[in-house]
Structure 1
Amino acid sequence: MLGLFKKKTESEKLQEKYKSLLEKAHKISHSNRSESDKLMAEAEEIAKKIESLLKK
C-alpha cells in the first residue's frame, strides 16, 4: 500500500521512456527503417541522460 503513492524518480521516468522507444523502434523497423533509426537515436540520447543522472 505504501508504494501506491510513491512518486517516480527522474531516472525511473527516463528508463520507462527509453524502453518504450526501443519497443516502438523494433516494431516499426520491419516497415520503415529510417523512422526506426530516428527512434533509436532518440533512445540513445535518453540513455545518456540516464547514465549522467546515475553518476551523480
Structure 2
Amino acid sequence: MFGLFKKKTEAEKLQEQYSKLMADYHRLSTTDRAASDAAYAKADEIAKKLDSLK
C-alpha cells in the first residue's frame, strides 16, 4: 500500500527491460535466430548500463 506511488529507480527500469529482452531472446531462439541475436544484443547493452550504474 505504501509503495503505491513509489517511482522506480533507473536500475529497476533497466533490470525490467533486461528481463523482458532475455525472455524474448529465449522464446525466439528456437524459431528466428536473427531476431534472437538482435534481442540478445540489446539485452547485453542494457546489462552494460546496469553494470556502470553499480
TM score, norm. by length of structure 1: 0.92
CA distance in 2, matches of 1:5, 1:51: 27
Structure 2 residues not aligned, in runs of 5+: none
2:8 corresponds to which residue?
Answer: 8
C-alpha displacement of 1:4? 1.0
TM score, norm. by length of structure 2: 0.95
- If each structure's helix is expressed as a fraction of its own residues, which one has the higher value? 1
Structure 1 residues not aligned, in runs of 5+: none
Which amino acid in 2 is paired with 1:13? K
Q: Provide the alpha-carbon RMSD of the alignment.
A: 0.6
Paired residue total = 54
Identity %: 56
